[in-house]
């Protein structure tokens, strides 16, 4: 048993949270004690230091340096760096996305990093000569320990990177392995909100159109919300969703003729709008279009504004907190923080006449 405990609490495994539990205080109190803060009593400080010695806790010197820099309020030249890892086929691949999702995500993350005393720098995993191993070597050489993993082009794993050397947080659900702390929109809540708002406007036949790729990227949560909401509808108003490997005009038109929706809820509003107009239908007079990722609040596209900037901010909050606690490597129990989307009324769905 002693050997097991020794392994569990070896210096490289002990975190600030472990010290807090042993001392019977919060992680914030441990942080204050290690800084010899006058905000806590001498008795509490002694209890924390005793736990530190007992467990063999050693604060990460890199993190200590970061905290000193932040407290001094020094300029950008001395800011420590957090890595934003992207893995698109091209360096600027994320900029080609037709939605402002990535721009908003990265803007929010960069803003929060700056306010916390850090600099967010993008690293492209497919740079010439780059590999997960080489990427880790570059980060070590730069003294970078914190990694923010951008949404991946398609759900998959990022193998080969020694994650145990880094604190990391993922944006969205596309990173399947390892399982990291992550921040994402609450897609189920967003779907229920969109469904309820359409109902409030008097619509009854609500159809869902998604590509299977998008369906998988959100871990099927949009479909789950849709099916849950549809269970409360009368039988004739329960429409079969369209999930297509490749969403085509022909497939959409066939589905539309069969299901006869008066509102189409989709993550592809541009294509859906084009196909509806090709049928001679006016939006929103004849049929409404609701986006699951409206680009802005107050904009003309009705639907859910996911608030990607806030998702980016909260991801940096989680990452900085992990650094402060000296928690490196994939967590034993990963936290998933879901950010609610909000309804944007727009003009593409209105009260049913």
> Which fold would CATH assign to domain 2-59?
434 Repressor (Amino-terminal Domain) (1.10.260)
The residue that leads in pLDDT, 198 or 58, is 198
Please state the rounded mean pLDDT for residues 53-70: 61
Q: Could you check whether 2-59 and 187-306 share the same CATH topology? A: no
Per residue in 4-43, pLDDT (tens digit) is 333 333 445 677 788 888 899 887 788 777 766 778 888 8
> Which fold would CATH assign to domain 187-306?
Rossmann fold (3.40.50)
**Token representation of residue 109:** 């993350």
Element housing 110 (H / E): helix 101-115
In the chain, the DSSP E strands lie at 80-86, 118-124, 146-149, 167-171, 181-185, 206-211, 242-244, 263-266, 288-291, 303-305, 336-339, 342-344
pLDDT for the residue numbered 215: 94
pLDDT for the residue numbered 289: 98
Per residue in 110-148, pLDDT (tens digit) is 999 998 889 999 998 888 888 888 888 999 888 899 999
pTM: 0.78
> Which fold would CATH assign to domain 76-184+309-340?
Rossmann fold (3.40.50)
The residue that leads in pLDDT, 266 or 73, is 266
Give the percent of the chain with pLDDT over 90: 56
Domains in the chain: boundaries: 2-59, 76-184+309-340, 187-306
pLDDT for the residue numbered 145: 92
Report the candidate in 101, 18, 15 with the shortest Cα–Cα distance to residue 60. 15
User: Could you give the C-alpha distances from 300 to 156, 284, 353, in angstroms and in order?
Assistant: 34, 11, 19
């Amino acid at each position: 048993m002693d050997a097991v405990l020794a392994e569990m609490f070896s210096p490289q495994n002990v975190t600030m949270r472990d010290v807090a539990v042993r001392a019977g205080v919060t992680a914030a109190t441990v942080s204050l004690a290690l800084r010899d803060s006058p905000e806590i009593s001498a008795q509490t400080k002694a209890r924390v230091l005793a736990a530190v010695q007992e467990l063999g806790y050693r604060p990460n010197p890199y993190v200590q340096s970061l905290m000193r820099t932040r407290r001094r309020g020094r300029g950008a030249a001395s800011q420590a760096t957090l890595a934003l890892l992207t893995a698109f086929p091209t360096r600027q691949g994320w900029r080609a996305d037709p939605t402002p999702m990535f721009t908003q995500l990265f803007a929010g993350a960069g803003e929060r990093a700056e306010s916390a005393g850090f600099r967010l720098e993008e690293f492209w995993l497919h740079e010439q000569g780059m590999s997960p191993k080489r990427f880790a070597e570059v980060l070590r050489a730069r003294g970078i320990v914190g990694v923010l993993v951008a949404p991946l082009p398609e759900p998959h794993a990022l193998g080969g990177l020694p994650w145990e050397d880094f604190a990391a947080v993922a944006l969205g659900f596309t990173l399947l392995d390892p399982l990291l702390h992550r921040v994402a929109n609450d897609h189920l809540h967003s779907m229920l909100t969109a469904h309820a708002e359409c109902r409030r406007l008097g619509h009854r036949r609500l159809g869902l159109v998604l590509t299977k790729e998008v369906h998988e990227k959100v871990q099927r949560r949009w479909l789950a919300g849709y099916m849950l909401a549809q269970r409360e509808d009368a039988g004739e108003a329960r429409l079969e969703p369209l999930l297509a490997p490749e969403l085509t005009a022909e497939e959409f038109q066939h589905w539309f003729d069969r299901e006869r929706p008066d509102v189409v809820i989709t993550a592809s509003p541009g294509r859906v709008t084009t196909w509806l107009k090709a049928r001679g239908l006016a939006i929103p007079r004849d049929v409404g279009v609701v986006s699951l990722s409206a680009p802005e609040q107050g904009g003309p596209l009705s639907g859910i504004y996911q608030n990607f900037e806030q998702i980016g901010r909260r991801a940096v909050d989680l990452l900085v907190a992990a650094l402060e606690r000296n928690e490196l490597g994939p967590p034993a129990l990963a936290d998933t923080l879901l950010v609610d989307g909000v309804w944007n009324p727009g003009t593409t769905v209105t009260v049913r006449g």
